[in-house]
Amino acid sequence: STDILTGTLAQSGILSALYARERTGVGQKVDVSLMESQLAGLVNIASSSLNSTDSPPPKRWGTAHESIVPYQAFQCKQNGPEIQYIMVGAGNDVQFHNLSSVLGIPDLSQDQRYLTNEMRVKHRKSLLPLLEKVFLTKTRDEWSKLLEGKGFPLGPLRNVQEAFQCEQAQHRQMVQEIEHPTVGKIRLPRTPISFSSLGGTTVFGEEIASNDNPESMKKGAIPPPMLGEHTAEILEEILKIDPHSIQGLEKDGVIQCWYNR
């Protein structure tokens, strides 16, 4: 995930540099590293650690949250070969009251040990087993239906196939079928960015997904480039190197080109 985060930050830096160049006429060298991106990605964990030097180092909490309880994945009643979980977060006292009511244990939110989030964090070890026991009584999908719309965040933990087949992914048309030049049809995730009114606009051969043109989410994508696929095109169109010289560079092993013949 760090390399993906670094690439995303690099993209943001490049766009910022291009915008600055438009305003000032001065170009920039954009420098992004994996280490710096990972450190910045720690966000609240980093700020807490940096400003609480007398406190012990942050612990590993898995899916749980250090300062909000409950806020984690709970195992549900098994329905098939895979163990299933649901992620539930009660970020404030009202949400915890709502959660307790839906779970059928409303008295829990009136327990002096769990009245506030501060108290729930303090008594994490006694509270979580009570919740875990209840969540094991129903399947993940049953809990999803019961908890939906009750005023606190939740979500079923899905495997990759389930994630792409879920209703929201289908509605957003996140899967694209693309013709690859060597292996035929392949299915890939759609670029997860859409705009309000750019239907029909293309960038590097891919039509930008637009909310005012749902069909734009389905079409226009191009497959990942082959190694050297655009080398000759870039050298000729941008660097103005003539085709004969490009062929010479390729013959001498300086560059590698791929042609869709």
Which residues are within 8 A (CB) of 9 and not within 5 positions of it... i.e. 6 or more apart? 32, 37, 40
Return the C-alpha torsion angle 234, 235, 236, 241, nearest 10.
Answer: 170
Residue 107 annotated in active site: no
Per the listing, tokens 């997860």 go with 192
96 neighbors 123 (Cβ within 8 angstroms): no
> Residue 205: CB partners within 8 Å, gap ≥ 6?
220, 222
Length of the chain: 261
Residues 104 and 142 sit within 8 Å (Cβ to Cβ): no
Where in the sequence numbering do the catalytic residues fall? 3
